[in-house]
Amino acid sequence: MFNKLKIWKKANISSNLQERILKVQEQQIPTHIAIIMDGNGRWAKKRALPRVAGHHEGMKVVRKITRMANQLGVKTLTLYAFSTENWKRPKTEVEYLMKLPEEFLGNFLPELIEENVKVEMIGYKDALPAHTFHAVNKAMDKTKENTGLILNFALNYGSRAEIIEAVKGVVNDCNSGILNQNEINEDVFSKHLMTSGLSDPDLLIRTSGEIRLSNFMLWQLAYTEFWFTDVLWPDFAEVHLIEAIEAYQNRQRRFGGV
């Protein structure tokens, strides 16, 4: 049940926003929200700060948006934290980004456990530094019995690579006799993706004014509602999440029908 006192106690929520929160609660909340968290570097540049300062500020936003999504009753929140293409960035920036999960989960994990949040990850773990891998694995292990919001980090994730690996998995199952090629359908293919067990996103949010998917969940976003904003991720607040959900609730989802 929506615990408004808990939300308003942990965040500086205006009376106007309180009313908007209660109103969106009267309609269907997206089951799965995915967010492309963009604009950390530009946020820092506007303030003559190093890019890593924007990433650190963005980490704080993850915390408050996770709280709000959990209290609203969102079932899954997938955050695009680091793509397979992000390794091309300057070494110092990549090294800093790889330290953020350790810092974030080290500070936030007790609250995640208390709030019944389950941490999961999609992406290629083997290429992560040992300290990053350990921090994520620890959080997943400590929260594996939780039954509330799934906080799903897309870390070292790329959708094209995911799809290719899924194709290989299907081919392997056919070659080994586990699967007949005539049995291949969307459901079978989806079970070979990293998101197997999760519903497809209902709502995708991308910040910073960019209007593209950047190799993110290309299969899963087939019928997702998109919401783009010029707000840079470090400036993204609870009010923007509510605005996105309001836009979602005002749309008609036909899934190809009429």
108 residue type, one letter: F
| C-beta atoms surrounding 91 within 10 Å | 8
Question: Considering the chain, what is the average pLDDT of its residues?
Answer: 94
Asked, for residue 60, whether it belongs to a domain, the answer is: yes
Asked, for residue 214, whether it belongs to a domain, the answer is: yes
pLDDT at 70 over 90: yes
**Span 215-237, pLDDT tens digits:** 999 999 999 999 999 999 999 99
Q: Is 38 a catalytic residue?
A: yes
Q: Is 172 a catalytic residue?
A: no
pLDDT at 6 over 80: no
CATH number (domain holding residue 73):
3.40.1180.10
Asked, for residue 167, whether it belongs to a domain, the answer is: no
Asked, for residue 43, whether it belongs to a domain, the answer is: yes
Asked, for residue 173, whether it belongs to a domain, the answer is: no
Asked, for residue 59, whether it belongs to a domain, the answer is: yes
Instruction: Render 108-145 in DSSP notation, one character per residue.
Output: HHHHHHHTT-EEEEES-GGGS-HHHHHHHHHHHHHHTT
Q: Catalytic one among 3, 12, 16, 38?
A: 38
pLDDT for position 244: 98
Asked, for residue 108, whether it belongs to a domain, the answer is: yes
Domains: count for the chain: 1
Calpha distance 118→212 (Å, rounded)? 29
Residue of 199, 203, 198, 201 lying closest to 245 (CA atoms): 203
Asked, for residue 11, whether it belongs to a domain, the answer is: no
Q: By 3-state DSSP, what share of the chain in percent is helix, strand and coil, each rounded to 5? A: 50, 15, 35
**Span 98-148, pLDDT tens digits:** 999 999 999 999 999 999 999 999 999 999 999 999 999 999 999 999 999
Q: Which domain holds residue 77?
A: 29-160+200-249
pLDDT at 14 over 50: yes
**Span 144-193, pLDDT tens digits:** 999 999 999 999 999 999 999 999 999 999 999 999 999 999 999 999 99
Q: Catalytic one among 86, 137, 146, 215?
A: 86
